[in-house]
Amino acid sequence: MRKGNGKSEVKNLDLEHELPAAEGEDMGSTSAAAGGPVPVAGAVSEIEKVKVERDALLDRLARLQAEFDNARKRAVREQQEFREFAAADVIRAVLPALDSFERALKAPGGDAGDFRGGVELIYKQFQDALQKIGVQAIAAVGQPFDPRVHEAIEMVDTTEVADHQVLDELQRGYKYKDRLLRPAMVRVARNTGG
């Protein structure tokens, strides 16, 4: 080691690889006799403090990592449970209409008017169930064509209605809480008469 002032030598001292002092010999006299640095008692205690602090920080880091991992797993589990409960609410809302279909199929054959009335009642139950969960039908017939919510299947030449007006709805479109589930499939007027 190079000689210098005692303070710089203490900083370079590797205490983990230093041999312990012999019995009855104090550390200062051995180092001085060997011509090595003289460790300062305050430096050794400061190194011990830093080691303790390092160990505490490593322990804290390990605990924080475990807490983060647990929080991430808990969030994934809660999202899955939320999806399952949301699906259960939708199913619960549709079950009365399904019950009505079962009753209609078990009923003895009768008047066609009664059958149609039963089917209309079931249709109304389905609409009510969908409305409860936030599903809305998209208005189409008689409306101006809107490519954001309508899908044009056919253009029909006519002079009876305005240009680009929806003439007919082939399949109803739906929104769920202002988000498009599916566009309405429509026929659109093409008025070439001006």
Structural domain spans, the chain: 14-69, 136-194
Note the CATH number of domain 136-194. Answer: 2.30.22.10
CB 159 within 8 A of CB 191: yes
User: Given this model, what pLDDT does residue 55 score?
Assistant: 94
User: Given this model, what pLDDT does residue 18 score?
Assistant: 55
Task: Report the chain (194 residues): mean pLDDT per 10 consecutive residues.
Answer: 47 52 48 52 84 94 95 92 76 76 71 74 84 84 88 85 86 84 88 68
Strands 179-182 and 174-176: antiparallel
User: Given this model, what pLDDT does residue 52 score?
Assistant: 94
Find how far residue 18's CA is from the centre of its chain.
55
